[in-house]
Amino acid sequence: MTAPEPDSKITILLIKNNPILLTRFENMLKKEGFGVDSSVTLSDALEKIRNHHYDVIITNTTFYGVEREDVVPLIKVFNPTIPILVFSLKKNIHSLIKAANLGADDFFVNPTELTTRLKLLLSKKKRIAEQHAQLSI
Residue 132 has pLDDT above 90, yes or no: no
C-alpha span between 31 and 100 (Å, rounded):
28
Between residues 19 and 94, which one has the greater pLDDT?
A: 19
Residue 1 has pLDDT above 60, yes or no: no
Residues 52-64 pLDDT 10s: 999 999 998 766 6
Write down how long the chain is: 137
Q: Which residues pair with 13 in a beta bridge?
A: 37, 57
Domains of the chain: 11-135 (3.40.50.2300)
Q: What is the DSSP code string of 81-134? A: T--EEEE-TT--HHHHHHHHHTT--EEESSGGGHHHHHHHHHHHHHHHHHHHHH
